[in-house]
Amino acid sequence: MKILSNREKSRITEFETKNGVNTTPFFMPDATRGFIKFLGNNDILNSGIRQMVVNTYHLILNPGVEIVKDGGGINKFMNWKYPLLSDSGGYQVFSLIHKNSKMGSITDDGAVFRSPVSGAKHNLTPERAIQIQFDLGVDMMVCLDDPPPNHYTKKQISGAVDRTISWAKRCKDEYERQLKKRGLSLDSSERPLLFGVIQGGKHLDLRQKCAKGLAEIGFDGYGFGARHIDEDGEFMEEVLEKTASFIPDDSIKFALGIGNPSDIVRCVKMGWDLFDCVIPTREGRHGRLFFFDDEIKDQDILSVDPSKFYFTENITLEKNKKDFSKISDNCDCELCKNHTKAYLNHLFRAKDPNGARLAAIHNLHFYAKLMERIRQSIDK
């Protein structure tokens, strides 16, 4: 990883993976089971998106890792020629078990869980999480960690930090075994990158301990684990800022699951490089569109108030039924170039999937544009 330019703590970096060169900061939409609902690859590419996340847990359940492997790996299976990152599957498995202990159990060895789809039993150990991600054949993979809910006691979160560090070590050992077994060199254009995940809840000392423990093992990048909002729904500004500072600057800083446009801008200013979230596609499917505020049209995006540079609009509202104006004058996506508010409103009311598709395309375009504006702003 190379740092190309800095503006205070925010930075532009570049790193190579087997499906191409990546320039950060960038945003990855979630192609959960190897697709984004209603969108084809061209829809995603035309939005300006190049990297996506796939979810190991969901792929284990459907269609199953064997099918993806037999299909030549996830890129070939999807016919997606750009970089993909897989998560470890841990977050979903742990949430499933934390919510209902009948769904499985967690020990120091790993997790055993029941598929909510078929009822079949699955094992997810640190070693298994790495083997599965190698079988998927992604560009970037993530260690299995223990993500405690933020309301857990400090003692419980401290236990999760110890387990996360010990599992990260097992993941790294398995990663090295798999590289040898599969004859992959250490060149990042050939091997997948491996990221550790920093836990510690809202406790700065635990976040620091976890970051230090992981850095001693050594990873290509480090992610922010668990939710980034506290029990009161507040953005954990200080925890995110300090955690970014605990990560070595010559590694990739991944703000997992973040987020809304304001939080992305806040996190870029702290030094975070990678982002992923379901917001643009999920909100789009529900008819909520993202727009830049006209007042900041030509302004430097890192200098404006992060809570005020954009707004959202619900296209399904009654007031749009007879609004034959363009959706936006400042967006050149497929939706805004071709259709009126009234037409999109009609598609949603008629429940035609093309409405959800066009809205998701527009939102991905907004996110890709946001990241481009951020990079321009850092590079000024």
Just list the catalytic residues: 87, 276
Pattern 53-92, Zn ion, x by CB under 5 A: ----------------------------------------
Neighbours of 95 (CB within 10 A): 14
The nearest distance, CB 331 to Zn ion, in angstroms, is 3
β-partners of residue 13 are: 3, 24
Binding segment for Zn ion (CB under 5 A), chosen from 108-116, 196-204, 325-333, 344-352, is 325-333
**Cα 199 to Cα 207: distance, rounded to the nearest angstrom:** 6
Of 59 and 331, nearer to Zn ion (C-beta) is 331
The nearest distance, CB 335 to Zn ion, in angstroms, is 5
Interior/surface letters 302-323, b for 16+ CB within 10 angstroms, e for the rest:
bebebeebbeebebbeeebeeb
Here the tokens at position 334 are 């497929």
Report which residue type is found at 359: A
Q: Which residue's structure tokens are 């900061």?
A: 25
The nearest distance, CB 350 to Zn ion, in angstroms, is 20
Choose, by CB under 5 A, the member of 12, 194, 244, 336 that binds Zn ion.
Answer: 336
**Cα 177 to Cα 65: distance, rounded to the nearest angstrom:** 20
Binding segment for Zn ion (CB under 5 A), chosen from 164-172, 227-235, 299-307, 333-341, is 333-341
Of 34 and 280, nearer to Zn ion (C-beta) is 280
Binding segment for Zn ion (CB under 5 A), chosen from 1-9, 187-195, 228-236, 336-344, is 336-344
Binding segment for Zn ion (CB under 5 A), chosen from 28-36, 226-234, 272-280, 362-370, is 362-370
The nearest distance, CB 357 to Zn ion, in angstroms, is 13
The nearest distance, CB 332 to Zn ion, in angstroms, is 7
Here the tokens at position 167 are 């599992």
Nearest CA-CA partner of 14 in 222, 378, 379, 273:
273
Size of the site for Zn ion (CB under 5 A): 5
**Cα 262 to Cα 97: distance, rounded to the nearest angstrom:** 31
Neighbours of 218 (CB within 10 A): 12
**Cα 113 to Cα 104: distance, rounded to the nearest angstrom:** 4
CB 299 within 8 A of CB 323: no
The nearest distance, CB 51 to Zn ion, in angstroms, is 21
Binding segment for Zn ion (CB under 5 A), chosen from 25-33, 65-73, 137-145, 328-336, is 328-336
The nearest distance, CB 40 to Zn ion, in angstroms, is 17
**Cα 301 to Cα 33: distance, rounded to the nearest angstrom:** 33
Of 58 and 362, nearer to Zn ion (C-beta) is 362
Of 163 and 362, nearer to Zn ion (C-beta) is 362
CB 3 within 8 A of CB 251: no
Q: What is the 3-state secondary structure (H, E, C) of 269-304?
A: HHCCCEEEECHHHHHHHCCEEEEECHHHCCCCCCCC
Q: Is 358 in the site for Zn ion (CB under 5 A)?
A: no
Pattern 273-312, Zn ion, x by CB under 5 A: ----------------------------------------
Of 200 and 280, nearer to Zn ion (C-beta) is 280
**Cα 249 to Cα 181: distance, rounded to the nearest angstrom:** 31
Q: Which residue's structure tokens are 């083997």?
A: 131
Choose, by CB under 5 A, the member of 96, 160, 165, 333 that binds Zn ion.
Answer: 333
Q: Is 331 in the site for Zn ion (CB under 5 A)?
A: yes
CB 29 within 8 A of CB 284: no
Q: Is 362 in the site for Zn ion (CB under 5 A)?
A: yes
Of 129 and 327, nearer to Zn ion (C-beta) is 327
**Which residue ranges make up the site for Zn ion (CB under 5 A)?**
331, 333, 335-336, 362
